[in-house]
Amino acid sequence: MPIIINKYRMENFIYLTIHILFALGMFISLKVINIKSINTHQAIAINYIVAMIFTAADLYFQGYSFYLSTRIIIPSVFVATLFVSTFVVMILSTERVGIGLSTALNKMAVVIPVSVGIIFLGQDQNIIFKIIGVLLAILSFFFILYKKERTKSNGALLLPLSVFLLSGMIDTSMELTHRFALKDTGDDGVFLVTVFIFSVILSLVAVFFEKKKNHNLKLFPSKVFGYGAMLGVFNYLASKMILINVAKMGGSIVFPIHNTSIVMLTALTGAIFFKEKFSRKQWFGIALAVVSVLIVASTM
């Protein structure tokens, strides 16, 4: 029996490690896209096309039929809009305030679905821990955004705040959709591929309007295809792994480990490889964010 338990734990550890690496690849891809001055809208469009193709192929090879119903289409459109908006804001925020800070706020946004759960869904178990986690998250937000410089960079507050809010709305929408709309076997995969389809449409519309404003803009050069595809592969893999891991272990285990690991790894990546410098107060804010995510997510 102990051998079986150890093997089970080792398998879960491997799955979580793979998931974390894929998610880390997504955020590093966003940083590279920014460094290489690659067109954001076009890279996002390619990303979603690649993610859509991989997800649809995965659904096909598993033998599930692609049947769309109103209960899946409506939340898919809403979540797709949030996905595209979050990708754009995340890239801009990464450019202005760095990969570590942007990712910390992205993951700290777990406090939003928890708050919605407490107020509207009656998820009031361990409510004291949830409230403590939310308060710590809010406090860490101010520490993370602390800057010694007198001059404020454009978007230094608005962009990270947008990352926080949009990321929280995505998690909340996913929870509400899973609770009220996804009822049959295979619905998760159908929902995911539908989100990617609508994300492709919305991102291509954004590219169209950008081209209309700038007639000299070159559409989809080779480097956009390359880096956008890299982002799309990581996007698909991370999305797939989170579905697998939640099914295997439950969100109360997956989300705390995933969120805290990504916050720490991306912060270290930003500091070591991209020469981003954090003040002591910012490091303290990230530490508070890790603690808040652990407390809140452990009650889910």
Along the 300 residues of the chain, how does pLDDT read in single tens digits? Answer: 444 456 767 787 788 889 889 988 988 888 888 888 888 889 989 999 999 999 999 888 887 777 777 778 888 888 888 888 887 888 788 777 776 677 777 777 777 777 777 777 676 667 787 777 777 877 876 776 655 544 445 556 788 888 888 988 887 787 777 777 777 767 778 888 888 998 899 899 989 988 888 888 888 988 899 999 999 999 999 988 877 777 677 665 677 677 777 777 777 777 777 777 777 887 887 788 788 777 766 665
DSSP H helices, the chain, are 2-35, 40-61, 70-97, 99-108, 111-120, 127-144, 158-180, 187-213, 222-249, 251-272, 280-297
Q: What is the CA radius of gyration of the chain?
A: 19
pLDDT for 200: 92
Q: What is the pLDDT of residues 219-247, one digit of tens each?
A: 898 889 999 999 999 999 998 887 777 76
The Cα 68–Cα 60 span in angstroms is 14
pLDDT for 272: 76
pLDDT for 230: 94
pLDDT for 123: 62
The Cα 11–Cα 50 span in angstroms is 28
pLDDT for 75: 85
Exposure string (b/e) for 105-135, b if CB count within 10 Å is 16 or more? bbbbbbbbbbbbbbeeeebeebeeebebbbe
Token pair for 152 = 């404020």
Residue/partner pairs of 119-126 with CB below 8 Å, 24 or more apart:
121/179, 125/299, 126/299
Hey, what amino acid is at 271? A
The Cα 47–Cα 137 span in angstroms is 31
Q: CA triplet 27, 29, 35: central angle to 5 degrees?
A: 110
State if pTM tops 0.75: yes
Cβ neighbourhood burial of 235 (10 Å; 0-12, 13-18, 19+): buried
